[in-house]
Amino acid sequence: MNAYSDFVGWKFCNCAVEGWMKMTELFSAELEREAVGTRSVLERVPEGRYDWKPHEKSMLLGYLATLVATMPAWIAMTIKNDDWDLKPAGGPRPQPQPRTRKELLQAFEESLAAGREALANTSDEHLMKPWRLLVGGRVVAEQPRHIMLRDSVFNHLAHHRGQLTVYLRLNEASVPAIYGPSADEGRFE
């Protein structure tokens, strides 16, 4: 651990005893807040454009939308497993590829339910334990679970959801207000 995670861990654990919010409560509340904006973006993913991408180096729209829809389940993966290998022996794990907005939203609701359930059934003490990200069996990151949840789930979700809003704009779909107004809705007037 580094000095920052030592401090954050101490503050969360000791303040929880004094009546402050536990990490599990903090992450649960964050999940609910982020779910609203994520759902509003996924509801606008245009049908029939899942194979579109803005640039040769970019992800396909359908792949990006599926990634955003399924990221809340990474909470469960981080809580229930000690590590995750992005390139496991035997090849990549099969991933569902929703082909309609309805399937995409169903994948999101299932992912959200998995994240909620995992947070409801863990403890702050467990979130202090280390978690590792592997690539082909090699450790590329190791941090306490709470740091991985913040950085690799919540911050990562906001990043890819932001990418997805650009894809929406480039496909003439309206962009929802998420943290503040968008050009399409929620202006401060």
Domains detected in the chain: 3-170 (1.20.120.450)
Distance CA 164, CA 94 (A): 22
184 and 175 Cβ atoms separated by less than 8 Å? yes
Confidence of residue 3 (pLDDT cuts 50, 70, 90): very low
**Helix intervals (H) in the chain:** 3-17, 23-42, 61-70, 73-80, 101-120, 124-127, 145-148, 156-170
Whole-model pTM: value is: 0.87
111 and 71 Cβ atoms separated by less than 8 Å? yes
Q: Give residue-wise pLDDT tens across range 44-86.
A: 999 999 999 999 999 999 999 999 999 999 999 999 999 999 9
139 and 88 Cβ atoms separated by less than 8 Å? no
Q: Give residue-wise pLDDT tens across range 92-114.
A: 778 778 989 999 999 999 999 99
3-class state of residue 186 by DSSP: coil
